[in-house]
Structure 1
Amino acid sequence: MTFKSWKLCVINISIATSFFLLSYLFIYPFITKGVVFNGDDTWYQINRILEIKEGIKDGNFLPYVYTHSFGKIAYPLGIFYPEITIVPIAVLVLLLPHPVTGIYLGIAGYTLLSLLIVYSLLRKLGKTRSAAYIGSVLYAFSAYRTVDAFTRFALGEYIAMTFLPLCLYGFYMIVKGDRKEWVYLAVGFTGMLLSHVLTSFITVLFLVICWIISLFWDKNKLLTLLALLKAVAASILASLIFLEPFLEQEFFQKYGKPTPLLLSDTAQKFSDMFISALDNSMLQGWKEVFSIGFCLLLVLFLGIVLYKKMTNIGRLVYLVGCVSFVIASNLFPWNLFENTFISVIQFPFRILMLPTLLLAVAGSDLADIYFSKLSINTIKKLSLAIVIVLGILMMWNASVERLFKVTEYTSKGLYTNTSDFFEGVEYVDQYTPKKTIKYLPDIYTHTAILDNHSREVLIAESVNGKQMYSSSKFKVGRRVDLPVSYYKNYTVYQGNKKLKTNISSRNTIEVILKSKKPVFVEYEYTLLNKICYIISIVSWLVLSVLFLFRCFFKFKN
């Protein structure tokens, strides 16, 4: 190995090591407190992690039916909310003696992945090491990404942001003409789809709009379309493990729109978003406003001054980043989309993930412009880059410390190393069939109807991943309308006997008992479920090989 090769190896190892340290720094202020704080979705996401952990103990890494939480009503959240990218966190919680440590290390793991992905992609786009490093830190320690991780504790969205860079890079390269890079889009969108559906939906809308605009100058429209379709097909195959059972339930019966809200009401004022960014706010509360943070706002202003000196891709991401920042606010006519399929996004601020990434890339471009003007050696440029990164980190840490001063965040709903499942049934109506909604009070109280007239509160417990119901009034031949919503592939066993299930007038499961024993409700995996599992796993292996080949091919060149 030549001296140049050794030098390159040392540099890469040093960068990777620093990313490990930065990923731990991302969780350090939180993990040292020994608790998971009261983020907007903390109880919801913690319950998901714990349900998966219990499922793993029972030999099921992807439990469809949640039996310990959400009221112990055999709630199929695992079908409607992607679980796979939460599994690593659940494994850490299971293996480590302190669950809080496992949760935070899982969050750190996805920060490490984000740093590595953004840095690598910026290098592939021709950025210098220093500029790529600054761009990756801008993204990983951005205000909105931190809000998703801790203020909101929206784990699905936070993890999905890890794969967003791969999606946009793959799409850009395809449209640019390097269609062999379709695998990046396929891998990125697969990871995103297996993390959070709404984030995937927003990304699809964004990419479709960009593709339509690109048609005005794309001279190889058909080849571009074929490459995009190839990526889409690969993503669908790799995501069948989630998509098939999800779509099976969606087409089986009607569900309400999850937490229906008026977009015009939830859209944040642009002036408030500007002030929030200026303040680098990550604060929690109904009156608080989420934004891109001070560092990316600075990139936005510097871009105005240095726009003509930016590279073509720098200008592109800067303009699109600015536009998407405005669209995320009330300056965009969201009222026009109230009764359309777009209203499912609920909160326009979710679009902030786009300007967060795009302006981080633009920031990398600006860093290259700045470094190219300096007549100093590499060591001095590296030192300057370190100073810039330290500035980003100091500002981030100051904002986190302000978050800790929010009483609502630090004093209520805390998860500790001795905590169990959170109790509560909020949001259960999101994935409850429309016909069952009005009977939810009965379901929450585990109230069954015996022989079509008498009401009886059953005892509900979780046994080996199954929801068990028992009562002293169970007897042979008794008709029992169980307090469980009717879903496709739900089965009921009493002992070793499978009971015939019918749909009751409450749209719940009705059975005729064959003994006095308790009944067990579970999801019975179909042949199609199992086939889709296999297809997805094979697709992951194929995409992994293709992805690594493309990485090696580019590196070699």
Structure 2
Amino acid sequence: MKNKRLKNIVATITIVIFTILMIMPFLWVGQIGVHSDWSFHASRVQQIYLNLQKGQWFTYIATDTFSKVGNANFLFYPSIFLYPWALLKFVFAPVTAYLVYVWLLFLATGLIAFYCMKSFTNGNIRQSLLFAIIYLIAPYHLYLTLSNYVLGEAQAYTFIPLILLGMWNILYRNKWIMLAVGMSLMAYSHYVSVFISVEVCFIMLICYFIQNQKVEWHKIINLIKAMVLFVLLSAWQFIPLFTDYLHGDLMRPASGFMLMQSAGDFIVSAISNDALNRGGIGLVLLIALIFGWMFIEKNSRYTWVYIIGVIITLMITTAFPWQYFANTPLSIIQFPYRYTSYAIAFLSIVLSKALLKLNYSTISTNIVTSVILLAFILLYAGSIYSDIARNKNTDNNVAILANSRQGKYKTLRDPSDTPIILTNTSYNKQFSYGALYGETDYMPIAAFKNWKSIFNRVTFINNKETKVLQRSGANKLIYNINLKESSKVDLPALAYRHTSVSINNKVSNYKVSDRGTVLLKLNRGKYKIIVSYKPINLLLIFRLIAFIGWSGTILMCLFRYVNKRN
């Protein structure tokens, strides 16, 4: 028992050290080349950070970022796992804070992967460690975190092992809590990944029925239990989707299948083992995909793991007939390459099993494992080389963030989406620009059609452009207006279903203008107008339910653990 505990500690320390080694090259450079989804997530974190400074824990609308017009993407896109990054900004310089945040993501991903595999293998520490490292260094994971900054998916990637183990527990162990917890944490990260996770669980369920050729109702009941707990733990996240999104005339993400890879491009991407250009499964997992069947016992659980890994890998490419599903709910995924995370998980299980066979009678198992880990470090170093070179900018071929924009609205980068260098000193300049992607997400459609005047914060008084003093508070936009006559005042503040307006400290009614903004009819006089968002009581109630649910779930798991130890 003591020997096993020591091995657990060594494996945990190995993951900690390995993740530190993963982030150190980026910390040494001290600056980052950003593009793609960066400006969207960085702007959201900046708003959370500024609101925390003002003592406001919950952020509903953007008042200091996203052009200061009250964009409510916080209501419709999960943000809870952005809070660690925002809190780190109180301790570290901005670029350093982000890189420490990525390290925490790496550490959580590695430890969750390790302990999930340890449960799946009934305590095989060596296989669990190998699985965790393979899962960590997959190029697509690096693409999400350090290359293109696709943070919703990056957070979701952390919890995929929990979901796979949770589904396994339901099918083979008569346990159901893990799946509910994993799905809830996924919902706190990325909604589309929840949808894909449901698909993957369904595939696992079908494979189970094919293998066993019978329906066991107690497993279906356990699935229902998991669904109920999932609703209790995560329903609060979805309340604004029902109250404001589905019943509002808002911009919605486009459905369909875009940026699809041919099987040939997929293989070339995997061989390159590079984190850029959507990463891919990487070289070692390509080998597992092609030769994995040779290293697993027939009709074992690994056979089904391998089969599902192959199926999901095909779903990444045009080899899967996506064109026939263009008008189905499957089109919500947008990019089939999003299945890469799940293919990586299944193929990493197969590869970790195959690597256990690398044993030699004359060489210690620990030495063999150390050599494998060293090889993984070298593979990782090759994967991140392009990103390190971009961030270093030694040849000055990457643009450097200029001074804050002057005059009309401009995005951080042009539509070509080439990278731009941020340093700790220039970091905050980016927020005077608009986000290249995500700036118009979840805006009222009428506002999207009139985005130029809104993003330039133009106020119309009696249909004439007028300069109005605007200030930003936590979840509120403040305007001071002095009217010399009765007027129609069209403020550059987006109007949502539960937007609230107060005039001279009294809650007032308002209309929605033709450009999807707050429209007021005011008499002559001086006015202090505050535009904010008022969450409905149902959201607050379900937050409380989630808190109670998490507390009860954690206490129940601790109680079971203590009883098992005794």
- Relative to the length of structure 2, the TM-score reads 0.89
Distance in structure 1 (CA, Å) of the matches to 2:149 and 2:356: 34
Task: Look up the equivalent residue of 1:152 and give its one-letter code.
Answer: N
Question: Corresponding residue for 1:241?
Answer: 236
CA offsets 1:271-319 (integer angstroms, 9 cap, x no match):
1110111110212xxxx35310012112223313224x36722221111
CA offsets 1:138-175 (integer angstroms, 9 cap, x no match):
00111111111111111111011111110111112212
Task: Look up the equivalent residue of 1:507 and give its one-letter code.
Answer: G
Question: Corresponding residue for 2:411?
Answer: none
Distance in structure 1 (CA, Å) of the matches to 2:399 and 2:322: 34
Question: Corresponding residue for 2:20?
Answer: 24
CA offsets 1:472-498 (integer angstroms, 9 cap, x no match):
x54575331222232122112233222
The SS at the match of 2:250 is coil
Question: Corresponding residue for 2:351?
Answer: 363
> CA 1:542–1:175 in 2, change beyond 3 Å: closer, same or farther?
same
Question: Corresponding residue for 1:74?
Answer: 70
The SS at the match of 1:382 is helix
> CA 1:298–1:494 in 2, change beyond 3 Å: closer, same or farther?
same
Specify which of 501, 505, 517 is matched with residue 514 of structure 2: 505
> CA 1:552–1:276 in 2, change beyond 3 Å: closer, same or farther?
farther
Question: Corresponding residue for 1:441?
Answer: 452
Distance in structure 2 (CA, Å) of the matches to 1:330 and 1:394: 31
CA offsets 1:502-542 (integer angstroms, 9 cap, x no match):
22333322223474234221111322221111111111212
What is the correspondence of 1:411-422 to structure 2 with a 5 Å cutoff? 412-418=419-425, 419-420=427-428, 421-422=430-431
Specify which of 144, 147, 151 is matched with residue 140 of structure 2: 144
Question: Corresponding residue for 1:350?
Answer: 338
> CA 1:368–1:208 in 2, change beyond 3 Å: closer, same or farther?
same
> Do the aligned partners of 1:58 and 1:465 also contact (CA within 8 Å) in 2?
no
Task: Look up the equivalent residue of 1:211 and give its one-letter code.
Answer: L
Establish whether residue 297 from structure 1 lines up as the match of residue 280 from structure 2.
no
> 1:551, CA displacement in angstroms?
5.4
Q: Percent identity?
A: 25
Specify which of 388, 391, 407 is matched with residue 375 of structure 2: 391
> 1:337, CA displacement in angstroms?
2.1
Specify which of 50, 53, 57 is matched with residue 49 of structure 2: 53
Question: Corresponding residue for 2:326?
Answer: 338
> CA 1:124–1:553 in 2, change beyond 3 Å: closer, same or farther?
farther
The SS at the match of 1:15 is helix
The SS at the match of 2:57 is coil
> Do the aligned partners of 1:175 and 1:218 also contact (CA within 8 Å) in 2?
no
> Do the aligned partners of 2:233 and 2:550 also contact (CA within 8 Å) in 1?
yes
Please tell me the root mean square deviation across aligned C-alpha atoms, in Å.
2.4
Task: Look up the equivalent residue of 1:493 and give its one-letter code.
Answer: S
Question: Corresponding residue for 1:375?
Answer: 361
> 1:188, CA displacement in angstroms?
0.7
Distance in structure 2 (CA, Å) of the matches to 1:108 and 1:133: 18
> Do the aligned partners of 1:174 and 1:227 also contact (CA within 8 Å) in 2?
yes
Distance in structure 1 (CA, Å) of the matches to 2:447 and 2:153: 29
> Tell me, which stretches of 5 or more residues in structure 2 are unaligned?
401-418
Question: Corresponding residue for 1:519?
Answer: 529
Task: Look up the equivalent residue of 1:132 and give its one-letter code.
Answer: S
Distance in structure 2 (CA, Å) of the matches to 1:151 and 1:476: 55
Establish whether residue 65 from structure 1 lines up as the match of residue 58 from structure 2.
no
> Tell me, which stretches of 5 or more residues in structure 1 are unaligned?
none
Distance in structure 2 (CA, Å) of the matches to 1:39 and 1:550: 46
The SS at the match of 1:404 is helix
> 1:194, CA displacement in angstroms?
0.4
- Relative to the length of structure 1, the TM-score reads 0.90
- Larger mean CA deviation between 225-234 and 155-164 belongs to 225-234
Distance in structure 2 (CA, Å) of the matches to 1:425 and 1:516: 34
Establish whether residue 494 from structure 1 lines up as the match of residue 478 from structure 2.
no
Question: Corresponding residue for 2:221?
Answer: 226
Distance in structure 2 (CA, Å) of the matches to 1:350 and 1:172: 22
> CA 1:527–1:224 in 2, change beyond 3 Å: closer, same or farther?
same
Question: Corresponding residue for 1:404?
Answer: 388
Distance in structure 1 (CA, Å) of the matches to 2:536 and 2:518: 19
The SS at the match of 1:428 is coil
Question: Corresponding residue for 2:163?
Answer: 167
Establish whether residue 254 from structure 1 lines up as the match of residue 249 from structure 2.
yes
CA offsets 1:291-350 (integer angstroms, 9 cap, x no match):
10012112223313224x367222211111111111101111111122333222221111
Distance in structure 1 (CA, Å) of the matches to 2:83 and 2:249: 29
CA offsets 1:91-139 (integer angstroms, 9 cap, x no match):
1112x14122221111111211111111112111226221211111000
Question: Corresponding residue for 2:99?
Answer: 104
Task: Look up the equivalent residue of 1:468 and give its one-letter code.
Answer: I
Q: How many residues align?
A: 536
Task: Look up the equivalent residue of 1:405 and give its one-letter code.
Answer: A
Task: Look up the equivalent residue of 2:230 and give its one-letter code.
Answer: S
> CA 1:551–1:105 in 2, change beyond 3 Å: closer, same or farther?
farther
